[in-house]
Every structure is written in structure tokens, then in C-alpha cells.
Chain A
Amino acid sequence: MERMQQVVGRARAAFNSGRCRSLEFRMQQLKALERMVQEKEKEILAAIKADLHKCGHNAYSHEILGVLGELALAMDKLPSWAAPQPVKKNLLTMRDEAYICPEPLGVVLIIGAWNYPFVLVMQPLVGAIAAGNAVVVKPSEISENTARLVADLLPQYLDRDLYPVVTGGVPETTALLTQRFDHILYTGNSTVGKIVMAAAAKHLTPVTLELGGKSPCYIDTDCDLAVACRRITWGKYMNCGQTCIAPDYILCDPSIQSKVVENIKVTLQEFYGEDVKSSPDYERIINKHHFKRILGLLEGQKIAHGGESDEASCFIAPTILTDVSAESKVMEEEIFGPVLPIVTVKSVDEAIEFINRREKPLALYVFSNNKKLIKRVISETSSGGFTGNDVIMHFFLSTLPFGGVGNSGMGAYHGKHSFETFSHRRACLIKDLKMEGTNKLRYPPGSQKKVDWAKFFLLKRFNKTRIGLIALALLGIVAAVVIKVS
């Protein structure tokens, strides 16, 4: 508890010193972070491999590439993002300066998750630093190798007081959450999300919660099944299903169910070969607890493919379940594993109804050649994000805000959205101390005449052209003079 107070206190004192406010300082830190990722690439890949059995290609493309991209974007755009934005003025404020000034919030807390342990602390960190904050980083203790690495590396490259790393499990995180932060970004599950928000409420701290849920994937009868299944297979089994936006389950017409299974089987062969266990590209479940949990979901299910497992190495084979009932256990919680249930529905209407009866998911996927159908599903459902005719990909476009809604979370980040999440947009109006005449309208004593003039000036009833504006301004001055004289 005391340690947390000290760490956060130091970060706050460092923030108050003002040194992280200058753009030069922020750029310097971002550049240092970039150097860290480039120089320590081997160590980072090794840590992720130790935690998740992830091959270099995947670790690089899922985690490092994303971070380098965010860094490049932030460094490129920081001057424009941080600049004050002038806003449209009304008649009364025409001669004044009115703008929105982006400012840092103060001390930000980032709590990472274990499934993409590097990118899920680094990507928010980039945005928080760019916005000029001090940041306390708390990587997930479950991905212990990456957590240790982050704790080792960050102080070697970044300002130690401004960006401390705190490691630990539940007790340490609970102690940390009693401290006051100016924003908390948490990635994880809804249960803990509620705890984080309740702790934040005590200090009126705004939060961004990146949670999860069951992301549905609807396959229409009118679509190229081979392509659809290949894309779904890629997204579902990457990281052994431990992806917050993995397609959790499939909804499709019973007539194409077996074809879907066949296509996925063929793709799995293509991707991982005959013996999945010996493929270097297939990951493992993070720990025994989740291994047992996922296997438990298979009870009583029709296994159309897969089902093999090996506890010693936390290996679960890519598995497909067919004719799954909506009430079964595998349809109750987010699977977060390489198990793909197929639930049959007779039409897109039934699919939409099915989706809407459940909590709003983090992602929603639809495969169809029919553009209208895709548009319809978007309009009649709600989700954090959406990709049509593919899975996962909306995550990689940083101009799209990435976040949940309802049970899947609140707030968003990535790219400029990170910068905005970690900034305060302060409204600034700078008036002239002179020109008191125009203020007379608002001072007591009140009169009907004043109200009428106020209506004239304030009500935006029509589109004013430039000439109209000048004419109105002149009228305004005349009115002020008239009232002063009378």
C-alpha cells in the first residue's frame, strides 16, 4: 500500500514539475520507446514465446508491428494533435479568441492483459505519453515473462519517475486502485472491469474499459465459403483462440453447416499441417486454470473436429462443435480458446434476434456477398466494432476507434483516439477587456427590449453569409450604442 503511494506520488510530483508537457520531451520519450522496441526485439519475442508459445512471425506481426505503427503515427501527428483547435464563434464572440486546448490529464494508470501482453500495455502507453501524462504501467502477472521484461526495459529507456512499472497480482492491483489517478485504462474481463470502475468512482476518475464478450460471426448462405472459412479460421485460432475480438461462435443455416466444417478442416490442414501439436505456428493456452476451463466447455457437445488435448503443455487442438444449443455452457461465457461452436439459425432475421437477445459484444462479424444484408445487420445490432467479410481486421486500422459498448466496455483508443482518450479538451474563450458596450445587453436591470436584442443576436435561426454577418455586426454595435444612450 505504502509502496503504491510512493510510486504514484513520485509520478504525480514528476508530472507537476511540468517536464512532460513540452512536445520535445514527449517526442524524446516516444523516440526512446521506439528504440527500445527495435533494440530489444529478440528479448520481447522470447518473452512472448515463453508466455504463449507464440512463434516469431505472430509475435512480431501481432504485437511489435502494431506498437511501431502507433509510435510512428504519434510522432508524426503529435504537433497537429496537440495544437489548440479554433472553433466556430457566434456574433457575440466574433472579436474574441475561442478554441479547444488539448491538455494532459495528469497521472494515468494502464492495466494490461495476458493474451497480447506486450501490445496491450504499449499501445495505450504511446497515446498516454503523447498526450503529455505521467503513466503507471501494470502488466498482467499471468503473462509473467513479458511482465518482467516490461518492468526491466521501461526504466532503461524512459523517464523513471514519470513512467514507473508496477508488477504484481490481485493484492498489488487492489492496493494500486486505492490511489488517485486521472484516467484508468483497463483491458480484461467484465467482472474485474466493474471492480476497476467502482474503485475509480471514489476519485471521480474517468475510465476506459476494454472488456470482452462473445463475438458472433454470421455466415450467410450467399457467400464464398472457402474464403470466409479461411479468414474465420485465421482469426479464431490465432493465439489459440485467446483474442478478445476472435469470432467466438458461428451462426449459419443448417444447410451449410457441414460445408463450413469441411472448409475449416481443410484450412486447418493448410495452416498447421497434419499434426497441429508439432506446428511451430500454433500457440498454447496460457495456464492450467484456463486449460481446464476450456475443456470443461466441451462436455456433452458434438465434436465435429479436434478435441484432443495435452495438459502438460496446455495444448488444446483446434476444435469445432456442431448443432450447439444456445443454452449450453459453451454459449454462456466467452470461450477464449480454440473451440468454435456452430449454432444453426434459419435466417438472418433469426441471427439478428439471437445476437440482440445477448449482451453487446466487442466485435461482430458477417460474411455475405449481399452488401444490403451486411448493412442491415450493422443497422439492426450493436457492438463495439464490426468487420464485414473478414474478422479481426478493424483492429488494425488505427483511424477506427477500438472499444466496446455495454458489457464489452466503454471508451475507445488506437491512433488519434488514444491521444483524445488521454487528453482533456479544455474550452478556452479569451475576450477583450474593452468593448464593454456590447455587454450591456446582458446586465440587469432586465427589459423586454434587451430580451429582444438578445434573441436577435443569439438565436441561430438562419445561415448567415459573410456579408450578412458584417451587416449584423454593424447593427449590433448600433444597438449597443442605442441602449447605452437610452
Chain B
Amino acid sequence: LLCKNELNDTLNNLCHWMKDEHVDKNLVTQLDSAFIRKDPYGVVLIIAPWNYPIHLFLVPLIGAIAAGNCVIVKPSETSKNTERLVAEMLSCYLDSDCFAVVTAGVEETTRLLENKFDYIFFTGSPRVGRIIMTAAAKHLTPVTLELGGKNPCYVSDTCDVQNVARRVAWGRFFNAGQTCIAPDYVLCSVEMQEKLMPALREAITEFFGSNPRESPDFGRIVGDKQFRRIRALLCSGRVAIGGQTDEKERYIAPTVLADVLPSDPAMQEEIFGPILPIVVVANMDEAIDFINARPRPLAIYAFSCDSKVVKQVLERTSSGGFCGNDTLMHLTLTSLPFGGIGNSGLGKYHGKFTFDTFTHHRGCLHRNMGLEALNALRYPPYSQQKLGLLTATFEIKRKGTCTLL
């Protein structure tokens, strides 16, 4: 659905996005044509991850094609079935010279990166993001890195507990927690933790029934390595809800951990699984300090009936994006830029931002051959008079909103 939205948005607006953007002129260029030309970069590489294997290659691909580039798509080798499907399917619908799919593991991807691309779009972990950017530096290739981190979710004492529980549980357990903007952990007071627990239990039952293992709506962990990694995080705080696992099925039950400490395993890395730790803080200020002491995340969530609390958390923290009183939803608005900051990434996309990401904005000035007399002020030989005239022009201009010269 989200892909269709992006396609429709792009198809509806492409003519408008592609047009030369005429800009305001200053005094000297009044009679000229000044515009920003939208040029494609050339050959673009899109490296997609395994958690939303179609969406996360298709949405950037839409923007790259819209911007006029040729594209090489490298789907994740971890989501093998989708990888195969993309490789077979794309050539049936798109020009096979302009748009190619490369299936590759780590070694081959490293070799792929030795080639020169005109833009690289990568979605994945910060660790690999660094490797990608280092490889891009060798060719001065600009990059967009959509990475991750631990997305904090602050729940204030004044809130509708059941609604909060539902929205947080939905965001956390969607795709079995394997979502870059999933609420990674909750920060709240000890009283709120008490209230949240039964509410979360109720929400989980509402969504997945009394045995989530049998629910067709609850996912599994993508691979054995990831399963084992997430399972090891369970020894943090105490298991208040869930905690069951099955290695054969790579099933981890929707789990909530209470009284988690900042030093616990679940707080050392991005969880990327169906485990929700709750870390107790005394108040909002402590929550904000906790968040600011850590690398900037891809998303921050704050829940409160008091809009001032939500605004405070927003103003006193920094993150890729922010959603008040809900989780994940800022992703569905294509008019909002989607991207990280610091460790959680650089660059942004969705909607027009994808088009702009894959476009070189070229400043163009088309001047008149005539009216040469107007240029006289800039040519040598220079005299005190010329400088005086120049300064005088500048003085007059300062009072208005035009820029100088």
C-alpha cells in the first residue's frame, strides 16, 4: 500500500518536480533567466535490507527512476525468496540495460562497491553504513544512509493507558519487532510501569489471541543468527509478559521486560525483535537526559495527554523523526522526510524527498549578451570612484530585501 502511494504521488507530481525551478534574482541578474535544473546523477546503487524487503528497495527505486537515473538494485541475501523474486521480476517490467538486479553476499557486495557509482542509497545497520560510506569516499560518491538505533518511547503519567498500550504494542510487535522505527524501549515512572503491564497484556491478547504462536498475524525472526542474538537479550530485567521461544520456528513470543537497567544486555544494542524493555525513570527530565546521553535515534516517541509534555520532549531531544502519541505513523505521510541523524543515518527520502535525493540540483544562470555597459563596474582598472559606486549600490540595497550587487 505504501509503495502504491509513493508511485501515485510520484506519477501525479513528476512533471512538476522535474521542471526547472525559477529562483528570485538580485539586481544584477534581473534581466536574466535563473533557475535550478534537476539533473539525474547517473548510475545509482540501491542496497536494500531484509526486514521490509520489497518496500525498502521499491520506494528508493521509484525516486531514482523518477529522477532519470539508471539503477542497480542489490536486494538482501538474507531474505532469499524476495531476492530471487526481485531478480526474476524486475527485468520483465523494466528496461534491462538501465535497471539491473545484482544478487550478492557480503564478499561480492564488497567487490560491487569498488565500482564507481554516482549515488549510493543504503538501508541497514550503522556498522555497515560506515563501510559503505568509506567505499563511496574513494569515488567521491554521495550517499544516503538509512540506519537505525534504539528508538526511545517515553510514556508520561498523564495518559490513556489502554490506548498507549495498544499503539506501543502495535509498533513494537509489528513484523516481530524487525522494524527500524519500532519503539525499542519504554521510559516511564514505576507507577506507570504497573499500569502499563496489564494494558499491554490485554493489547497483545487482542491482537494475537491467547497463544500468539498460533496467530497468523505474528511474524517470525528472519534467521537463526538473529534469533539467537535476540534470545540472548531476554536475560534483562524480569520477564513480565511472554518470554517463550522456539528455535525451530524462530519464534519469540511478544515479550515485555520490566525493571530493565541501562547496563542490561537489552539496552546495549538495537533489539530488532519482539521484546519491549521498560526502563524506569523518575520523571520527564530524567527521561530526556537518558535519551540525550545516547546516540541520536531514528525515531523518538512520547505519549501524554498533556501536549506540553510531548512538545518538551520534542524540543529538548534530537532524532531522525518524531511521533507524539503514536508509533510508526510518521512514516505513512509522504510529505514528511524520512531519515536519521548522527548514528541513525544521513539523508532523507519518501515522496518528493526521494526524487530530490537522486537529483543533482544544478544552479543555472542564462544571461544576456547585450547590456555590457552594466558590467563596467566589475572590470579593471579599478579606481576609487568604481569602488565608491559599488559600495553605494550595496548601501542602498541593504535597506530592501534584495541581496546585494
Interface residues, chain A, with chain B CB atoms under 8 Å away: 16, 55-58, 60-61, 65, 68-69, 72-73, 76, 87-90, 92-93, 98, 100-101, 103, 105-106, 182, 190, 193-194, 197-198, 200-202, 204-206, 209, 211, 223-224, 227-228, 230-231, 234, 270-273, 279-282, 367, 369, 371, 374, 378, 382-390, 393-394, 396-402, 405-407, 409-412, 415, 424-434, 436, 439, 442-446, 454-455, 458-461
Q: Which residue of A lies closest to B314 (CB)?
A: A428
**A201 proximity list for chain B (CB < 8 A):** 130, 133-134, 136-137
For the A-B complex, the count of residue pairs with Cβ-Cβ distances under 8 Å equals 304
**B209 proximity list for chain A (CB < 8 A):** 445
Q: Which residue of A lies closest to B28 (CB)?
A: A396
- Bound together, the chains give a CA A68 to CA B404 distance in angstroms of 9
**Residues 370-405 (chain B) with a chain A CB within 8 angstroms:** 370, 372, 375, 378-382, 386-387, 390-391, 394, 398, 401, 403-405
Q: Which of B140, B305, B341, B370 contacts A424 (CB 8 A)?
A: B341
- Bound together, the chains give a CA A444 to CA B404 distance in angstroms of 60
B319 within 8 A of A: yes
Q: Which residue of B lies closest to A387 (CB)?
A: B365
**B321 proximity list for chain A (CB < 8 A):** 426-429
Q: Which of A56, A382, A384, A388 contacts B367 (CB 8 A)?
A: A388
Shortest CB distance B215–A (Å): 7
Whether B365 pairs with A400 at a CB distance below 8 angstroms is yes
B191 within 8 A of A: no
Whether B323 pairs with A431 at a CB distance below 8 angstroms is yes
Whether B5 pairs with A460 at a CB distance below 8 angstroms is yes
**Residues 1-29 (chain B) with a chain A CB within 8 angstroms:** 1-2, 4-5, 8-9, 12, 23-26, 28-29
Given A55-B382, A439-B167, A458-B332, also A197-B1 (CB < 8 A): no
B358 within 8 A of A: no
Given contacts A90-B332, A433-B325, 16 further A-B contacts (CB under 8 A): A57-B387, A60-B387, A73-B403, A100-B337, A101-B314, A227-B369, A230-B375, A272-B380, A273-B381, A394-B34, A399-B34, A405-B362, A428-B314, A436-B163, A439-B166, A460-B8
- Bound together, the chains give a CA A123 to CA B198 distance in angstroms of 57
Q: Which of A369, A385, A389, A442 contacts B170 (CB 8 A)?
A: A442
Whether B341 pairs with A105 at a CB distance below 8 angstroms is yes
Q: Pick the most buried of A190, A209, A271, A443: most chain B CB atoms within 10 A of its CB.
A: A443
- Bound together, the chains give a CA A426 to CA B342 distance in angstroms of 12
Whether B369 pairs with A234 at a CB distance below 8 angstroms is no
Whether A444 pairs with B207 at a CB distance below 8 angstroms is yes
**Which of the segments B75-83, B234-242, B271-279, B343-351 contacts the partner chain?**
B343-351
Beta-carbon contacts of B311-346 to A below 8 Å, as 1s and 0s? 000100011111111100110110111100111011
Shortest CB distance A379–B (Å): 8
Shortest CB distance A382–B (Å): 5
**B390 proximity list for chain A (CB < 8 A):** 57, 60-61, 65
Q: Which residue of B lies closest to A76 (CB)?
A: B401
- Bound together, the chains give a CA A11 to CA B391 distance in angstroms of 36
**A65 proximity list for chain B (CB < 8 A):** 390, 394, 404-405
Whether A459 pairs with B398 at a CB distance below 8 angstroms is no
Q: Which of A211, A398, A445 contacts B403 (CB 8 A)?
A: A398
Given A433-B159, A443-B207, also A234-B360 (CB < 8 A): no
B208 within 8 A of A: yes
Closest 5 CB pairs of A and B: A400-B363, A57-B382, A201-B133, A197-B137, A444-B217
Q: Which residue of A lies closest to B35 (CB)?
A: A400
**B348 proximity list for chain A (CB < 8 A):** 425
Shortest CB distance A439–B (Å): 7
Shortest CB distance B200–A (Å): 14
B247 within 8 A of A: no
Whether B338 pairs with A427 at a CB distance below 8 angstroms is yes
B366 within 8 A of A: yes
Q: Which of B4, B333, B380 contacts A429 (CB 8 A)?
A: B333
Whether B163 pairs with A424 at a CB distance below 8 angstroms is no
- Bound together, the chains give a CA A399 to CA B305 distance in angstroms of 42
- Bound together, the chains give a CA A57 to CA B394 distance in angstroms of 14
B63 within 8 A of A: no
Given A87-B333, A446-B216, also A426-B320 (CB < 8 A): yes
Shortest CB distance B299–A (Å): 9
Shortest CB distance B397–A (Å): 8
- Bound together, the chains give a CA A98 to CA B394 distance in angstroms of 40
Q: Which residue of B lies closest to A211 (CB)?
A: B140
Given A193-B140, A398-B403, A407-B140, also A198-B134 (CB < 8 A): yes
Whether B24 pairs with A445 at a CB distance below 8 angstroms is no
Whether B322 pairs with A427 at a CB distance below 8 angstroms is yes
Whether A279 pairs with B381 at a CB distance below 8 angstroms is yes
Q: Which of A382, A409, A432 contacts B39 (CB 8 A)?
A: A382
Shortest CB distance B196–A (Å): 14
- Bound together, the chains give a CA A433 to CA B301 distance in angstroms of 12
Q: Which of A271, A411, A428, A461 contacts B8 (CB 8 A)?
A: A461
Whether B362 pairs with A383 at a CB distance below 8 angstroms is yes
Jot down 16 A-B pairs with beta carbons below 8 A, ordered by A.
A57-B387, A92-B332, A93-B329, A231-B375, A279-B380, A281-B380, A382-B360, A397-B363, A405-B360, A406-B42, A426-B321, A429-B324, A429-B329, A431-B326, A439-B166, A443-B206
